[in-house]
Structure 1
């Protein structure tokens, strides 16, 4: 799975939440509603993958389910996003199973009831949630309602171009990263960037705050579920570091370099073209490099951490695809059998991971000898199960707090329009909290 743009569907889910809640089977427990799983039936499954190799990978992954449940015909519908899913639920004509690329929307899915709470199914079949890493358990539920399960995962690490590193070892701390970024940068005669050691700006693809800020030990929301930007000193430390390195490059030089970059998911990506020595990216880049730039020699290592957090080195940011059963699904028992198989069966997950170049989302699958991925992929398997790995907390309005923070950094902080950082973060907290209250959070 290559990453997809995250869509905020707050208004749609808010409207969905006030509609009359109805469950399949006229009020029965979802584990007893609808046809028995053993009955002959067809379930419709919506997913977001659309490229031919992605669609094939999904089909290959469920081959075992079809053999195990010959009475259940699975109709796969590709290229579906959260908006289409929620419109279908709202209209009362949802598919039986849906998957979403956006863990940021789990809070909305669960709190609105758009996706059913899977807890009764999990308890009935005694599914051990400890097969999933703690961060994954976190992003598949909201306030105790587990309306999704994980279906493969993405995590992030530092890619280093061996030729451009000139014999230097990959950094483990932010100070090492900063020193190397300056040492490995090559400038044109006019001072513009020819080769970037490491570009800290959030306008560089995956260098967004949710992937970099965890290196500084930030806590996004406080115990009351409110914005924590001003109270957590980790945010100020992260932002000051980022701005100092941008200023070293020159803000205009950074902008010019960013505007000259190729497409992130094409062979023109600057890391693949040898224009960037170090970059934070997801595990999918391994497959891209294998197919688009096989001559590039590179390493992968965990993302460096701030110098006062060296014991946390090895972790990283985790997210991934989630899957669930919509409210109003007509075949909930068969749907659950499908969801359970695809999210807990080791062979299915390994087949899917091999086909997409993603991280399998259970601990047993991580250890499977059937995983056939390049050596550099090992880092992502290790990051995924590292106890220091983190994710973004769920909220009732999805990733709105992340969107607002990124806008603050991109539009105000990086250009130097914030005279007082603490005041700016305090104002940001107020904006985020007001939006949460408006959404009912």
Structure 2
């Protein structure tokens, strides 16, 4: 997706965690509303909708998607307010003067929104409208609810896969297993005599753009939380397997060479991106990169494929990490009935979703929209449509304190593990579990 502001906000993991904590402790003003409160949906009224998109083409795409709703409900005037952040949404809810509909790029905060009641439970609306949730893939249903309380609906999605530069691949096929990825990464790497990395076959560091822990550990089948919502780092061997693979390839490059390479890179969302510059042969990235490559590096001949999985988990190949934008009705909304009609339309109407997806270069978030002939994307985009609907795809589960557990694991990986400062990995993961569990407990988990 051609959304630098959106990606920057989502990638600020610490900021998202802090936002989640703020949401959990705020939002005490205003009534909860409900499926039978406020003016009826057929009454003449104006609803205010806050969203985070800000660039001209983004705002136009949202407006185009809403056009069908305006025709369907001429009595409801829709006022769209762009460039809204989670903090602004939180402050409005806490102050008792929220808009009628809110949208966020941060699925990590769903747990705190649902747990605190900041966003209304949509179950009564869904039941009354007879919405079939099976139109959404399982991972999507997971990141829009917390402990049975569904306070959000999905609005477009992001899926992750493997990008590969065909010229740099030198005729090799994209790897399907971690073993194949490792061998090919070494084969395709080009160095100067002093070890300086000129072209990285694959950069394993969690500090490399989209190679953050949640995107790569997911490929190892990692289960972030236990069924009762506790940290699972020490008990799940997938985390140890991911870390050991990460460190082994970093050590092959040499940590000093990795740090030097990372410092030499340009901005992720500018033309200096190393994949677009031919400095990286393979990289895990989201579907929006197809739009960047089309606009910024049209001469790069590239392909896409699902990200590799461990050699002993080949049955899981085809899945990947998924996440997305969410939309809901805040506590204190003045027109909840009309707000629900808007949310339902925008998240379940195939034409609206496809119109929005085409405008932004995102994955539409329902199975019917994925199969729509109206969807117009480059051939490389098909990988992400397939990943999104694959039953082996997964996401990070919500908690009452946002993505704090991901933030802690990311910090551990890049600041302690990769530099070689962890003498006892098993003990370190147990300590990490303790810290994560304490934070969850403090926030009502």
Tell me the TM-score normalised to structure 2 length.
0.97
Residue 216 of structure 1 deviates from its aligned partner by: 1.1
The corresponding residue for 2:279 is 275
The corresponding residue for 2:88 is 84
The corresponding residue for 2:99 is 95
Contact 2:101 2:327 in 1 (8 A): yes
CA distance in 2, matches of 1:149, 1:242: 35
Residue 21 of structure 1 deviates from its aligned partner by: 6.1
CA distance in 2, matches of 1:73, 1:187: 60
| 1:391 aligns to 2:395 (yes or no) | yes
CA distance in 1, matches of 2:76, 2:9: 32
The corresponding residue for 1:414 is 418
Indicate the SS of the match to 2:74.
Answer: coil
> After superposition, what is the alpha-carbon deviation per residue over 1:75-134, rounded to whole angstroms, capped at 9, x for unaligned?
111111111101100000000000010111000010000000000000001000000001
Contact 2:30 2:96 in 1 (8 A): no
Contact 1:208 1:406 in 2 (8 A): yes
Indicate the SS of the match to 2:235.
Answer: coil
CA distance in 2, matches of 1:59, 1:13: 28
| 1:374 aligns to 2:383 (yes or no) | no
**Partner residue of 2:349 out of 345, 353, 371:** 345
Contact 1:316 1:389 in 2 (8 A): yes
Indicate the SS of the match to 1:308.
Answer: coil
> After superposition, what is the alpha-carbon deviation per residue over 1:394-423, rounded to whole angstroms, capped at 9, x for unaligned?
101010000000000011000100001001
CA distance in 2, matches of 1:213, 1:149: 26
Contact 1:152 1:361 in 2 (8 A): yes
Residue 391 of structure 1 deviates from its aligned partner by: 0.7
> After superposition, what is the alpha-carbon deviation per residue over 1:216-255, rounded to whole angstroms, capped at 9, x for unaligned?
1111111221111011111111100000000000101111
CA distance in 1, matches of 2:248, 2:25: 44
Indicate the SS of the match to 2:312.
Answer: helix
The corresponding residue for 1:253 is 257
**Partner residue of 2:24 out of 14, 19, 40:** 14
The corresponding residue for 1:27 is none
Contact 1:149 1:343 in 2 (8 A): yes
CA distance in 2, matches of 1:379, 1:388: 14
Tell me the TM-score normalised to structure 1 length.
0.97
Residue 39 of structure 1 deviates from its aligned partner by: 1.0
CA distance in 2, matches of 1:265, 1:193: 22
Q: What is the root-mean-square deviation in Å for CA atoms of aligned residues?
A: 0.9
Residue 5 of structure 1 deviates from its aligned partner by: 2.1
Q: How many residues align?
A: 435
User: Which segments of 5 or more consecutive residues in structure 2 lack a partner in the other structure?
Assistant: 11-15
> After superposition, what is the alpha-carbon deviation per residue over 1:141-182, rounded to whole angstroms, capped at 9, x for unaligned?
000100000000001000000000000000000000000000
> Which one is further off, 3-12 or 306-315?
3-12
Contact 1:4 1:101 in 2 (8 A): no
CA separation of 1:328 and 1:110: change in aligned 2, threshold 3 A: same
The corresponding residue for 1:35 is 39
> After superposition, what is the alpha-carbon deviation per residue over 1:348-403, rounded to whole angstroms, capped at 9, x for unaligned?
00000000000000000000001110000000000000000001111010100000
